[in-house]
Amino acid sequence: MSTNTPSPKPPKLIDELRKKLRYKHMSYRTEQAYVGWVRRFIVFHHKRHPREMGKSEIECYLTYLANDCGVSASTHHQALSALLFLYKEVLGIDLPWLEEINRPNRTKRLPVVLTANEISLILSRLEGKHHLMVRLLYGTGLRLNEMLMLRIKDIDFDMNQLIVRSGKGDKDRVTVLPQSLVAELQQQIVRARMVFDADRAADRKGVMLPDAIERKYPNAGKEWAWFWLFPAQNESTEPREGIVRRHHTHPQAIQRAFKSSVLRAGISKPASLHTLRHSFATHLLQSGTDIRTIQSLLGHASVKTTMIYTHVIAQGGYGVISPLDRMM
């Protein structure tokens, strides 16, 4: 008597999407964003499978986002990118009509920049780890997530540099290590070592590693060199794998502390932690640093992106004197 073994169910579309995003080494934030857009696209079209849809359905959804939801151009581009990734990378469907889809133009805005005096006012209202983290962001031009992802081995005191691994675009780069932060960073390393030693004594799970490293060296997460510079106070569950381990400090705490300090300093500019990166670049340019050097420090793929700061440093509206002032 033969038994019919039921065939395994085909993987769900969202699971396939997540699998492909991880294979492409997309960040967890990008994964969440793309999954969200694909889900909303499917629901918008009454849960039809994307294989049954194409150009007209994508354009209809994008028009809805622009006209009915009023999303920004950057959000619109992200939604389109998520759908294109779904069709090309997951479903394997060629998109010859890609160039025909209308895309809104992104509004070009000058970055918000803080003066050195404003940064000093903000710093005077911070203390402890938050004070160090804000100084580090301003002194290196790092993005917030790049700073939080720093490992012990990324701090090179001998070469006076920080190594940014797998930054935006999954690229490595180096940036300057401010000499005025050396002593504080060494103290932070001592504090991190205490947390590391406690984890090893308790035989806790090692820290998260890049996929390739974890597969090749499964115990590397328990090594001191890979430990976080800013470890979290408590363990937490890894969202992708569900593993309980120690992660780096959560960004929310430093974001709240910075926002509070900006308000208490009486600064009216819409400043965020990313404003420190803009300020780093602008102040370097004002001091005469070459634009190509700034591009390398920031990790910009194109110097055109860095050139935006040349517009910021124009004093008094392109450096001209108003005709009204000439009457005085």
Known catalytic residues are 143, 168, 274, 277, 300, 309
Show the 3-state SS of the chain.
CCCCCCCCCCCCHHHHHHHHHHHCCCCHHHHHHHHHHHHHHHHHCCCCCHHHCCHHHHHHHHHHHHHCCCCCHHHHHHHHHHHHHHHHHHCCCCCCCHHHCCCCCCCCCCCCCCCHHHHHHHHCCCCHHHHHHHHHHHHHCCCHHHHHCCEHHHEECCCCEEEECCCCCCCCEEEECCHHHHHHHHHHHHHHHHHHHHHHHCCCCCCCCCHHHHHHCCCHHHCHHHCECCEEEEEEECCCCCCEEEEECCHHHHHHHHHHHHHHCCCCCCCCHHHHHHHHHHHHHHCCCCHHHHHHHHCCCCHHHHCHHHHHCCCCCCCCCCHHHHCC
Structure-block tokens of residue 95: 């998109």
Structure-block tokens of residue 237: 């569950």
Q: Say if residues 121 and 268 touch (Cβ distance below 8 Å).
A: no
| Phi-psi label, residue 252: left if phi above 0, alpha if psi -120 to 50, beta otherwise | alpha
Q: How far apart are CA 291 and CA 230, in angstroms?
A: 31
Structure-block tokens of residue 71: 């999303």
Q: How far apart are CA 19 and CA 25, in angstroms?
A: 10
Q: Which amino acid is at 8?
A: P
